[in-house]
Amino acid sequence: MVNLIGTYECKADAKGRLMLPVILKKQLSAVLDQGFVLKRSVFQPCIELYPMQEWNQVMAKVNTLNRFVKKNNDFIRRFTAGVKMVDLDASGRLLIPKDLHSFANISNEVVLSSSVNIIEIWDKDLYEKAIDDATVDFADLAEDVMGGQNFENDDLS
């Protein structure tokens, strides 16, 4: 499992390519040669970049769903809508396909935000708005999610 750290600002060029920051490439060095999957986020107007090994773990869970249950089939279709396999080019750039670029409303200023084992790719203005909007109730959210009720062995507190 990859554990990524950090939030980084970078620029996308006119063709939708962005250069991964060196520190992020270092963190991904063990998995760079396996490639990545880009997909729409389920909950936010951003794109998620999965290292291939992380994507394969997610898909192993998805593949346990019974496709003869309509809601499962609908979920799988929507979850995988617009999914693309990508690699870094020889210069270390990542090309964001136009449909995903449009989905996330990405301008030339981009934020790459680690989210444990994936990277969220945001338009900078939308990222800042999402962070600002979340600050109001973050304390309540932190208590609900990390307050011990969701963990069998609570070594965090």
In a domain, 54, yes or no: yes
In a domain, 130, yes or no: yes
In a domain, 80, yes or no: yes
Domain containing residue 105:
7-146
In a domain, 29, yes or no: yes
In a domain, 151, yes or no: no
Tell me what pLDDT residue 140 has.
78
In a domain, 152, yes or no: no
C-alpha closest to that of 24 among 96, 119, 125: 119
Vertex 43 angle, CA 41 and 49, to 5°:
20
CATH for 61: 3.40.1550.20
**pTM for this structure?**
0.87
Tokens of 3: 């554990």
In a domain, 154, yes or no: no
The three-state secondary structure class of 114 is strand
In a domain, 156, yes or no: no
pLDDT by residue for the chain (157 residues), tens only, comes to: 789 999 999 999 999 999 999 999 999 999 999 999 999 999 999 999 999 999 999 999 999 999 999 999 999 999 999 999 999 998 889 999 999 999 999 999 999 999 999 999 999 999 999 988 766 677 777 788 788 765 565 554 4
Chain mean position to CA 84: 13
Total tally of structural domains belonging to the chain: 1
